[in-house]
A and B are shown apart, each in its own frame.
Chain A
Amino acid sequence: MKKTSKWLLALMLVLLLALAACGGDSDSDSSDKGTEDKKSEKTAEGNKDGIFSIEDFSMTKTNEGEAIEGGELTYGVVASSAFAGTLNYNFYSDAYDYEFIAWFDEPLFDSDINYTYTNDGAAEYEVSEDGLTFTLTIKDGVNWHDGEPVTAEDWAFAYEVIGHPDYVGIRYGSDFENVVGMAEYHAGEADTISGIEIVDEKTLKITHKTTGPSMLAGGIWPYALPKHLLGETPVAEMPESKWVRETPIGMGPYKVESIVPGESVTYVKNEDYWRGEPQLDKVTAKIISPSTVINALETGEVDMVDSFPTDQFVDAADMSNVEWLGMIDNAYTYIGFKLGKWDADKGENVLDPDAKMADVNLRKAMWHAVDNDAIGERFYNGFRWSGTTLIIPFFSEFHDSSIETPTYDPEEAKRILDEAGYEDKDGDGFRETPEGEELVINFASMEGGDTAEPLANYYIQAWGDVGLKVELVDGRLLEFNSFYDRLEADDSAFDIYQGAWGTGTDVNPEGIHGLNSFANYTRYTNEELDQLHLDGNSNEAFDLDYRKQVYSDWQQHMADNIPLFPTLYRSVLVGVNNRVINYSMDPASDLRRYDIGVTQEAPVVAE
């Protein structure tokens, strides 16, 4: 009897806990709903379903009040892992490292709304008549944090290091090979790069093999490397040297004071900054886990974040102490169709006319069959929305919104398929090929996050609704690494796939769609397209209107031929504490990092 009662007590305790936990849950649920309701009343969007539009967000922080002297700011880098700590533009490959570098170092060129270099930065450029030779001049007063001037030699040194046979970073590539003499230097056949000439202490002349507007969007390496500090270090050991990891040196508005490896970096004002004295005395940048970022913003633990996870925005929208800024992201999700193979010997993509997806009508019908706006609203609260062309609206001057692309219309999809001869002849509910063979389309999609699975299922269902039998490759979602391994190897089990691209800031699409691009995973090629790639990055294309026309034609070509179609455009959100002023994400803005200031000593805390 006694024993039973003891067990009973234990059981009761456990049940009590379970009940308490449930109670807690429903509590937080209802309060969630409460905040959602409040938010929809409060925010300007006025949307009742918790659906937002990035167009309603400003890119620039509203300024209330004056900056105080001696302000301090905490900057959160949202990441679930430590940062690698390779704190130099020439060596880093981890995106989080970039966020830490950007406070203390900067490119020598400033850029405009199209992310094209201008002469407003620390250096100026002049182009020769044929567009091949660039004369680069570093302005006076641009100094490293130790007071030494940034020289032409430092800039050339960056080229020498990245091109060096012992360099192990990922930065070396066709942009560097484009410099005359670089290939020989990289192969170890030459001791110097013949195309780089140091004219005087502040002037550098670089001669290239080909030219085009991409030269001004990353084609010229805009970062210098302090030769007076790293000159003696062997190239292979540079990434682990103290000038990169412990006491990194740049020319930006703040100087590194101390580093906690993987966690945080503190900076102090660089009074000698070439643009003028920065507003803040001290900046702390630190890693913030995505699971705690809302609380960190609410309590003022961080004043702002590099990028707020949009899927959590519904729970954060009504925060009283934070202003939300947003812009279109330089990335998109897409569905690609495997249309050929990579020929490694020729270094070219080769179309396969017999590929399963070779019929453009089939591809077009598949685009018509899916409702991406609904996906954007249901899964992403409207922070992702249906894509149209492949030059995304991030490139606001080049994205051509007048081009008509297939929209959600299942009836139209069925009509196209009927007309093209895809009919259900054996009555199993799915269409066969015009030749009467069974058609099963294998769809490769990656795992990751809560949405990957329902999303893939939705697509399969939507295509099933228009009579196309689509199945997941291997019957499941694929792990990131094996997905890319098989995609790159043109695995014949992949007919279509869902992927995503970050576009960088160079509008030129050749890097991911070109004839010679390995990253062109659909393997689609076309002579007209090759010509457009050449025209878009030719000497004539320095003329903005001409280039716009070329890229408009390019978008039309891709919309007509559909080797891939963009499913979702994306957005970036940034939460900024009310006390922070002079901050903007807008590429066209004149505000720079050194302008950022705060209006009061302590962060504003949520009410």
Chain B
Amino acid sequence: MWKFSVRRTLIMIPQLIVLSILIFVLAQLMPGDALSGQVGPDVDPKRLDEIREQMGWNDPWYEQYASWMGGVLQGDLGQSFRFKIPVTELIGQRIYNSFWLSVATLILTYLIAIPLGITSGRFNDTWRDQLITGYTYVGFATPLFIFALVMLWIFGFALGWFPTSGSVSPGLVPGTFEYFMSKLYHLLLPAISMALITTYSTIQYLRNEIVDTKQKDFILTARAKGASETRVYNRHILRNSLLPIAAFFGFEITGLIGGSIFIENIFGYPGMGQLLVESITLRDYTTLIATTLIFGVASILGALLSDITLSIVDPRIRIK
């Protein structure tokens, strides 16, 4: 396993270099820059040219890339033009929000998916199964952004149970218990909204696996040996059926960092997804490149993690 992990990690290095060049060049190719359309009666266009020169935006892309890469290797992702602070600091503020939102979503997703998936698989083709499958189809068909708006309207505004925007109530001191509770309170509704919709795939996977495993010979053997139905399900079927979910877990990690563009925008929740969209529309290059790069690194790491977990859970899988 160590050999496998090291090899996978080594492959990542050229992947990352290509990724960074690609992102950098594509960002440069976008029309306009952070100062486009800023010309106005209060702003001197000569000043804008001066800033462009000062920021080095007029240099050829490979020179800009070299100086940027030099910074990245020292852990400096550059300065955000719009926010006027180092990008690392900016991302630090946002990734924290996205991370906790995603952790909450993930926990809720599994809390919903595992019992429902087991019920659905164990009692397949009964009314219970049909109800659950019906729910997954509805979840599959409902666009997240519409569902989130409806949830926001019902629970945020009509009933007033949850706050409707932001990640924390204004005026609390970080580190206090109240601050923590307020954070939790703010991310609950977006997390529930997202979990209710995105859980369908996990339920479906689990159900199919269980239905599949149920008919395998070793289950028959277990039953023939006189194992109780609960034992058959918990010990034999469930363990084997969790495989695909374990494999999926690595990719969920990517989501942890990437956040959700829809959810964050609808709930006015300042996370990475929102930051990415803002940096694209405002051509905040350094932020844009840094966020896309982090997403890229996260996906690569996620895939790695998936492979490794899979090889731990399933001893049959060993890459030579």
In the bound complex, do residue A9 and residue B40 qualify as a contact, i.e. CB atoms below 8 Å apart? no
In the bound complex, do residue A288 and residue B40 qualify as a contact, i.e. CB atoms below 8 Å apart? no
List of B residues within 8 angstroms of A13 by Cβ: 134, 137-138
In the bound complex, do residue A501 and residue B36 qualify as a contact, i.e. CB atoms below 8 Å apart? no
B-binding segment of A152-160, A290-298, A385-393, A459-467: A290-298
In the bound complex, do residue B82 and residue A94 qualify as a contact, i.e. CB atoms below 8 Å apart? yes
B residues 142-196 near A (Cβ < 8 Å) are 142, 149, 152-153, 156-157, 160, 164-168, 170-173
List of B residues within 8 angstroms of A172 by Cβ: 44, 47, 50
A10 proximal to B (CB < 8 A): yes
Q: Which single member of B43, B47, B54, B157 contacts A299 (CB below 8 Å)?
A: B157
List of A residues within 8 angstroms of B281 by Cβ: 480
B270 proximal to A (CB < 8 A): yes
Least Cβ–Cβ distance between B179 and chain A, in angstroms: 10
List of B residues within 8 angstroms of A287 by Cβ: 165-166, 268
In the bound complex, do residue B130 and residue A284 qualify as a contact, i.e. CB atoms below 8 Å apart? no
List the A residue with the shortest CB-CB distance to B265: A80
B residues 37-59 near A (Cβ < 8 Å) are 37-48, 50-51, 54-55
In the bound complex, do residue A292 and residue B130 qualify as a contact, i.e. CB atoms below 8 Å apart? no
In the bound complex, do residue B268 and residue A289 qualify as a contact, i.e. CB atoms below 8 Å apart? yes
A174 proximal to B (CB < 8 A): yes
B120-142: CB near A (< 8 Å → 1, else 0) gives 00000100001001100110011
A-binding segment of B27-35, B202-210, B246-254: B27-35
List of B residues within 8 angstroms of A479 by Cβ: 31
In the bound complex, do residue A240 and residue B86 qualify as a contact, i.e. CB atoms below 8 Å apart? yes
In the bound complex, do residue A519 and residue B40 qualify as a contact, i.e. CB atoms below 8 Å apart? yes
| CA of A6 to CA of B207, assembled, Å | 15
In the bound complex, do residue B93 and residue A261 qualify as a contact, i.e. CB atoms below 8 Å apart? yes
| CA of A286 to CA of B35, assembled, Å | 26
List of A residues within 8 angstroms of B130 by Cβ: 6, 9-10
Least Cβ–Cβ distance between B281 and chain A, in angstroms: 8
B304 proximal to A (CB < 8 A): no
In the bound complex, do residue B31 and residue A482 qualify as a contact, i.e. CB atoms below 8 Å apart? yes
A residues 238-294 near B (Cβ < 8 Å) are 239-240, 245, 257-258, 260-266, 284, 286-289, 291-292
| CA of A511 to CA of B46, assembled, Å | 12
| CA of A86 to CA of B173, assembled, Å | 21
Least Cβ–Cβ distance between B280 and chain A, in angstroms: 10
Q: How many A residues touch the partner, as a band? A: 35 or more
List of B residues within 8 angstroms of A292 by Cβ: 152, 156-157, 164-165, 268
- A284-B171, A481-B31 known; A504-B42 Cβ under 8 A: yes
A352 proximal to B (CB < 8 A): no
| CA of A298 to CA of B156, assembled, Å | 13
| CA of A503 to CA of B43, assembled, Å | 11
- A240-B84, A488-B39, A502-B40 known; A10-B137 Cβ under 8 A: yes
Least Cβ–Cβ distance between B103 and chain A, in angstroms: 20
In the bound complex, do residue B270 and residue A84 qualify as a contact, i.e. CB atoms below 8 Å apart? no
List of A residues within 8 angstroms of B44 by Cβ: 172-175
- A481-B36, A485-B32 known; A82-B278 Cβ under 8 A: yes
| CA of A506 to CA of B89, assembled, Å | 37
Among A260, A264, A517, which residue has the most Cβ atoms of chain B within 10 A? A260
B85 proximal to A (CB < 8 A): yes
Q: Which single member of B39, B48, B153, B166 contacts A295 (CB below 8 Å)?
A: B153
List of A residues within 8 angstroms of B157 by Cβ: 292, 295, 298-299
List the B residue with the shortest CB-CB distance to A258: B171
List of B residues within 8 angstroms of A82 by Cβ: 270, 274-275, 278
B242 proximal to A (CB < 8 A): no
List of B residues within 8 angstroms of A511 by Cβ: 40-42
A549 proximal to B (CB < 8 A): no
Known: A170-B35, A172-B44, A260-B167. 5 other contacts (CB 8 A): A266-B171, A287-B268, A291-B266, A295-B164, A504-B41
Residues of B within 8 A of A (CB): 30-33, 35-48, 50-51, 54-55, 82-86, 89, 93-94, 125, 130, 133-134, 137-138, 141-142, 149, 152-153, 156-157, 160, 164-168, 170-173, 265-266, 268, 270, 274-275, 277-278, 281, 283
Between-chain CB contacts (< 8 Å), 7 pairs: A172-B50, A258-B170, A264-B166, A292-B152, A292-B165, A292-B268, A502-B40
